[in-house]
Structures are given as structure tokens and as C-alpha cells.
Chains A and B, each alone.
Chain A
């Protein structure tokens, strides 16, 4: 990918930079930058909320025996932690980044459907208010894990399930609208000359992510609907007594759920593929293979769902099929890791905060990927299934993977968003605190998992006590380290810092660096010519 901008942007952009003021600017906005900012702040608040729920869990698990909360509340905390982090923190953060960066990267004036963009954002806070309100319904909130397996969510759940289901419905509508917007923007709004194979990888990965979202969020809507009718209206989709099957729930859920986990990692690949070349001062190694690898991962993601279900008693041939398909994903993923490492090979590297997070991403995501391969092997999964090994695996890919990449993106683009450089010393402090604590938090979980500690239990055998204490300490360290990040972001938001040039990173490429920092309210009113 080599993007040379001939006629970058007209100087009159800055003079026409009028914007609405006050609260109306945010409530009725159709501006992709405003909506991106809203998404990112919403995601940040949800990150702290979901994180505080995780700290409640770690507080309870600090010592064996029941310590602080009762098991039912513990289950509500695991459910809400998962739901908020997946649908409230990680996905909106990526949508926010897409809103901010995709139009800037492809030379578009805004998203293709700006009013729908506003709608899809404002559904989210409303949906999460309903989701959170469900915890105050008599009988308590949803307590069946974010995966809401039947019959936990049907036969054995409380009244709040109805609110959970409807909140999920409108959250899904928001995701679908957001994804349609991104995909149409990319297909229809590219500047002249911005061919598909010149698009930055962040755009490519989001293009594919948006396709996955449109394909699987409706399936989630279908499965929550069946949970609703099973629980409240007497159907038996997931009840053998009426001819249904609880395992059907898992098939439907994971047909959504597995592409969903790639929805939460593909944009990360795009971010890291932007940052590593910038700080290695070399073009990305193997651009085309990155595109094909992303597409392959997305395609395979539809054929691997039942690797979450090896212990449900599927026929052996089905287990084998899903095992091999899952292991096949290691190939395109390996291509990506190889390309990132090759990009750095003999590069003139510097280690600013975005690069540090990107490097940690490559290493720690690979650890999470490798434990994923272990989990993919059917016979050994019989031991790992539903243990802390699984918790360790998906937190490595989601926290030190997806979340680290979001932080890398925030540091990388904060100068463009705010117009000031972030505080590098604080950024580095945030990075090192996060890196150390995230490993104290999640690495020992592998060991308790292999030793047989089940996930989602509020209590555990004495033999797991030491490691759980260490994990809890790591959890609190990681949680409080994020306050440093909050401080960094707030300093930028209050414009406290060195003024940022249009292109603060020497090796950075792309159209977003051709507009001033902070990016004017309206950019690319006239399409730039990309050669």
C-alpha cells in the first residue's frame, strides 16, 4: 500500500469549520467525528463499569470460601461483566474508531448515512440503561453468563430475562446499523483513486468486520427471541420435553458467537498494521497477504462454532470437522504475526506508547492464540473445557489483544483527535503498569485452569488459594492502572499538552495525516485525489 496524495485537501476546509454548539451538537449530531467521540467516551465509561464488576468478582475470589457477596450476585456480576465488556466496551470502541478514522482514511467527507449513524449511537446508552435496570427487578438481574445458555436462561432464570432479551435486541439493531454504515461508507465513499487494494488495513479489517456483524447479529436476535418465547410464552426450542434441544441453543448462539469474537479482534489487526509500520519506519510487509488472511479468518469463523461445544456429546465426525477447521485458522493468523514481525525486521524502530502497546499486542495476542490452538484439540479440550484455562485464553486475546490495540489506537490518534500530544511519560507509565499487571492477572489463570478450577464459581478448593490471591492482586493493579489512561485522555481532551503537528509520527502513512491536528470539523468536502 502506498498512498500518495496529489491534491491533499483544499485550504478552505479550515475556514468553513463552523459547528453547532452546546448540547444539541451532541444530541442531534450527524458528524462522524462527533459520533466517533461519543462512541469512544461511551465505551470508556462502560470499560470502567464492566471493570469494576470484574473487581467485585476478583474481590470475592481473593480467598476461598464465601467472602463478600452471595453466589447469585456473583453470577450477576460475571454476566454483566461479560455483556458490558463485549457489547458496551470493545464493540463501541471499535465502532468509534471506525467513525473517526474510516472517512479520514478513505478521503470521505463523512459516513455514508450520517443520520442513521446518530441513531445507532444513541440506542447504545438507552440499551445499557435497560440492561443495567434489569439488576433491580425483583429476583435480581441476569445471572446466566454472557453466553446465556439454555436452560439457565430459560427454565432457571429470573424475570429480568425479558429485559435482557429486549436490551439485546436494540443493541443488536444498533450494531447492525453501525455496520451497514461502515460497509456502505467503504464501498461507496472512497476518494477517487482509493482502490480497494490501496485502502489502509484498518479500513480493510473493518470492512470485513462489518460484513461479519451484519451476518451474525440477526442470528443473535433470533436466538434471544427463542429464549424469550421459551421462558415466557411456552415454546420448547431448548427443551427436550417438547421436542427441542438445549444443545440447539449452543449451536445458534455460537454461530453468532464465534464470528462475534473475530468482530472483536479483526479491527485490532488493522490498528496494529497501521502502528507497527509507522514506528518501524518501513511499509507494512505483505499488505496483500494481510488482506487475504483477514478474509480467510472471517470466512473460517463461520465454520468453527461448535469448537465451543466439544463436551456436549456431538458425533465424533462433527468434533473432528470443527477441530480441523479451528486449527486451520492458525494459518492466516500466523501469516499476520509473521508479517508484523517482518515489518519490524531491520526497521528504524522507536518505542513511543502506541508502539509499545502494539508490540505487547503482538506478543500477548500470540500467547492467547496458542492457548486457543490447545483448546481447539478435541481430546484435550475435555480437560480444559469450562476451566480457568479458557478464561485465561480469551482474556489474553480480548484484554491484552483487543483492549491493548484500542489503547494503542487511542495513543496513536489522540494527537489527531485533540490537537495536542498526549503526555508521553504518563503514557509509558500506563503501558508498563498495564503490561505487568495484565500478566499477573491472567497468566496464573492458565495454571489453576489446568489444575481443574472451574470458571464461574464463587468459591474454590483450598489448593487454588495462592494463585487466586495473586490473580486478584493483578486484577486490582490492572484496574487502577487504567486511571492513568483516564488522566492521559482527560489531559488531551482539555488541550493540555504540546501542540500536535498534522503528522506527529515520522513514519506514519495515510490520508488522516494530511489534514491538520485537530482534524477540522469537516474534512475532505472536496474529495482528495489518491494516486
Chain B
């Protein structure tokens, strides 16, 4: 808080940087390319979309690399003060809060479909006649394995792979916490060991999740197009998977930095932020497991 730092004589104000505007350019290329690629994909035409998208992703990668390199160098040369560290921490926590709200939109869609949309289609509330006239054979059940227009699919069970994945992710949160505690205690060996274990668990989760998608498409006929059940299943697990991927990339970078001798008890914002992010994706998964798989 501000009162803690007023004895520091000067504020630290970062220098100009070329990276932010390159980041804006990258996002622009990604958005423009992804938009055109989507149009070309749906019209089954060939165009420039994927080139622009690829260029955008490349520029984004260069930007992230450059920006973080500068940031790490500045941090390690001791330019930053406690107040800036506090700003980073708060910024990261608000970012995670925004991610929570992003997932809430998809959970909201899931709850609305289960509690309201599907029952109403089946004639609940005051919709008895509508259901009778439009879709007399429609059965309002969840998971919705037969949609009103007759698309059928099989539901994904929660035993087996999803349960194993839950265990893996929960354990990885614990192992990461052990690594974090080891960092605070200055026990580098223990830190390296548990961080590596966390990474192995994280990538195992992603691999199993990939296998689950194959299983869904190949064996269950559960696809993105399988009506509202498949829609919510794939968008929720898909966005979660993307976030796990991002978290795993962050932790991989942290592992490289740990092996390069970075971080100590007082200087570990990047590690802490990656670790919060990992715990966040873990919590999202637990909600997913309960609401998408079990219930």
C-alpha cells in the first residue's frame, strides 16, 4: 500500500519501450487474420487469412520474448522497487479475476441451458403447447444426447480419464505449492525437483485431455456440433485446456529461470504469478469436473 513506501525517495518510472506497440500490431494481425481465416474456412475458399494469422502469432511471440527479456534484465539489475512489485502483483490478481469472469460467461451458458433452455424446450414452465407442436418427441434430459433437431451423441462419463485428470491437476497444484515453499526457504534442490514434477503432471494432463477429445470425436460421436451439450463441453474444456497450456508455458519459463539461478525469497514475482495462475486453472477444473462431467 502507498503508505508503506513513502519513505522511498523516488518513484521508479519505466523507460519507453517498443514492445507494447508491437504487441498492438501483433494483436491486430491476429484479429484480422483470424477473422479472414474464419470467413475463408466457412466459405471453403483459399485466401490470405492464415498467413496474416501466422504472422501475427509470430510477431506476438517475438514481442513477448523481447518484452519479458527486457523486464527480466531490468528486474535482475535491481531497477525495480517494492512498490512496482506490488503493482505487478495486484495487476496479476485483477487479470486472474477477469479470467474468472470469462469462464463465468460459459458456466452461465451451461447453467442456463441445463436449468432453463432445455427444460423449456421440453415443455416446462408455460411451454407445454409449444413443445407439443414443435418437438413432440423431444425429451428434456441432461446431458442432452438428442437435440430437438435430432442430432444424437453420447455423453462423456466422469469416471476413468476425467477422474484421473482431476487427480493429476489437483496433485500438480500441491506439488507447485511445495516448490513455492521450497523457493521461500531457499531450498533450490527441492524447488527444482517439485517444479519439474509439476510440469510433468501439467503436460500429462494436457496429453490426456487431447486423448479424451480423440475419444469423444472417434468413439462417442461427441463433437463441437453435437448441440448444446457438446457446445458447452468443448468450449468449457477447450478454453480451460488453452489456459492450462498457457500456465504450463509460464511454468516452463519459470523452470528455465530457476535453473538459471533466478528468484529468491524477496524477488519472485514472476514465479508467484505463474503459480497463482496455475492454482486458478486448477480451481476452474474442479468446477468443470463437477458441473460438466459429474452432474
Is A89 interfacial (CB 8 A cutoff)? no
Question: How far is B73's CA from A430's CA once the two chains are assembled, in angstroms?
Answer: 52
CB-CB under 8 A for A233 and B108, given A127-B31, A184-B94, A215-B101: no
Within 8 A of A (CB), among B95-115: 95, 97-99, 101-102, 104-106, 108-109, 112-113
CB-CB under 8 A for A255 and B87, given A30-B13, A30-B15, A169-B31: no
Within the complex, the shortest CB–CB distance from A164 to chain B, in Å, comes to 8
Interface centre among A169, A232, A240, A524 (most CB of B within 10 A): A240
Question: In the complex, which residues of chain A have a beta carbon less than 8 angstroms from the beta carbon of B9?
Answer: 526
- CB atoms of A183 and B14 under 8 A apart: no
Question: In the complex, which residues of chain B have a beta carbon less than 8 angstroms from the beta carbon of A176?
Answer: 95, 98
A111-136 contact mask (Cβ, 8 Å, vs B): 1 or 0: 01111111101110011011001100
CB-CB under 8 A for A20 and B147, given A170-B31, A245-B117: no
- CB atoms of A215 and B16 under 8 A apart: no
Residue of B nearest to A106 (CB): B2
Residue of B nearest to A109 (CB): B11
Is B149 interfacial (CB 8 A cutoff)? yes
Is B39 interfacial (CB 8 A cutoff)? yes
B77-93 contact mask (Cβ, 8 Å, vs A): 1 or 0: 00000010011101100
Within the complex, the shortest CB–CB distance from A233 to chain B, in Å, comes to 6
Question: In the complex, which residues of chain A have a beta carbon less than 8 angstroms from the beta carbon of B15?
Answer: 30
Within the complex, the shortest CB–CB distance from A267 to chain B, in Å, comes to 18
B18-40 contact mask (Cβ, 8 Å, vs A): 1 or 0: 11110111011011101110110
Q: Which of B3, B17, B86, B118 contacts A118 (CB 8 A)?
A: B17
- CB atoms of A192 and B87 under 8 A apart: no
Is A265 interfacial (CB 8 A cutoff)? no
- CB atoms of A221 and B102 under 8 A apart: yes
- CB atoms of A228 and B38 under 8 A apart: yes
Question: How far is B121's CA from A245's CA once the two chains are assembled, in angstroms?
Answer: 9
Question: In the complex, which residues of chain A have a beta carbon less than 8 angstroms from the beta carbon of B151?
Answer: 242
Question: How far is B4's CA from A189's CA once the two chains are assembled, in angstroms?
Answer: 11
Question: In the complex, which residues of chain A have a beta carbon less than 8 angstroms from the beta carbon of B35?
Answer: 130, 134, 162-163, 165-167
Q: A222-B106, A527-B6 are in contact. List 20 more A-B contacts (CB 8 A).
A: A30-B14, A109-B11, A115-B19, A119-B19, A121-B24, A123-B23, A126-B28, A163-B36, A167-B35, A183-B94, A188-B87, A192-B2, A194-B2, A218-B101, A219-B102, A222-B102, A223-B105, A226-B235, A229-B231, A232-B42
Residue of A nearest to B94 (CB): A180
Is B229 interfacial (CB 8 A cutoff)? yes
Is A346 interfacial (CB 8 A cutoff)? no
Question: Using a Cβ–Cβ cut-off of 8 Å, how many residues does chain B contribute to the interface with A?
Answer: 72
Q: Which of A122, A123, A251, A522 contacts B13 (CB 8 A)?
A: A522
Q: Which of A118, A184, A188, A225 contacts B20 (CB 8 A)?
A: A118
- Interface-located stretch among B169-177, B192-200, B220-228: B220-228
Interface centre among B17, B38, B90 (most CB of A within 10 A): B38
- Interface-located stretch among A21-29, A368-376, A399-407, A464-472: A21-29
Question: How far is B35's CA from A344's CA once the two chains are assembled, in angstroms?
Answer: 52
A176-195 contact mask (Cβ, 8 Å, vs B): 1 or 0: 10011101110111111010
CB-CB under 8 A for A109 and B27, given A116-B20, A162-B39, A188-B90: no
- CB atoms of B98 and A218 under 8 A apart: yes
Within the complex, the shortest CB–CB distance from A167 to chain B, in Å, comes to 6
- CB atoms of B235 and A122 under 8 A apart: no
Question: How far is B104's CA from A129's CA once the two chains are assembled, in angstroms?
Answer: 30
Question: How far is B121's CA from A248's CA once the two chains are assembled, in angstroms?
Answer: 13
- CB atoms of B16 and A242 under 8 A apart: no
Question: How far is B21's CA from A415's CA once the two chains are assembled, in angstroms?
Answer: 30
Q: Which of B10, B106, B144 contacts A525 (CB 8 A)?
A: B10
Question: How far is B32's CA from A129's CA once the two chains are assembled, in angstroms?
Answer: 9
Residue pairs across A and B with Cβ atoms less than 8 A apart, 9 shown, are A108-B11, A166-B31, A169-B31, A170-B30, A179-B94, A192-B2, A219-B101, A244-B117, A525-B13
Residue of A nearest to B100 (CB): A218
A300-315 contact mask (Cβ, 8 Å, vs B): 1 or 0: 0000000000000001
